[in-house]
Amino acid sequence: MAKVLKTHADSFVVILLGVCILYIVYFQTSLSEELKTGLDSPVLFPKLLAVLLIGLGLLQTIVRQKNIANNDSASVEDEEELDEGVEPNNKRLWIGIAILISFVSVIPILGFLIASFLTMLGLVYLFKKVEWYKAVIYSLTCSLIIWFAFETFLKISLPVGLFGI
């Protein structure tokens, strides 16, 4: 059982996140029943996101289980060699979590565009070793696309910081 949890932990986290979003949407929205249904409902996007996360988590679990079944002939020595390659101190993971926590805390001060640009820049530079100009272009492009999608298509205003951006 511990091996199953260790092997599929990331899938379970994605599924749990989807279930939590569905739970929050169902119990925390105080909309009338007619506003909760339909294509223009404000809860449609969170519901779709939750179902997508649950589906992706289940798909990831199934694919990983098939890969494990196909590679059952691997010896215990091979598994030990794979475990040796795992970084024992997940320093980059904790730095990434700290960057995301700081993102949430600086959104009211810097606004969404600047905060998301700096966060993506930090995460791209932390997890992918790319040239600085590619990281800047990627971060700026993604931040602008997300801002444009929320402002234009979803009609959701994102936080504006002290600089008016």
Residue 28 and residue 64 share a domain: yes
Tell which wins on pLDDT, 105 or 44. 105
- pLDDT for residue 5: 54
Contact of 121 with 131, CB cutoff 8 Å: no
Residue 59 and residue 43 share a domain: yes
Specify if 165 maps to a domain: no
Which range marks the domain in which residue 98 is found? 91-153
Tell which wins on pLDDT, 86 or 42. 42
- pLDDT for residue 105: 86
Tell me the CA distances in angstroms from 51 to 13, 46, 78, 111, one per residue in order.
Answer: 14, 9, 36, 29
Return mean pLDDT, the chain. 77
Q: Is the pLDDT of residue 57 over 90?
A: no
Tens-digit pLDDT profile for residues 121-148? 998 888 877 888 888 999 999 999 999 9
Specify if 30 maps to a domain: yes
Residue 106 and residue 62 share a domain: no
pTM for the model: 0.53
Residue 97 and residue 78 share a domain: no
Specify if 158 maps to a domain: no
Average pLDDT over residues 21-41: 65
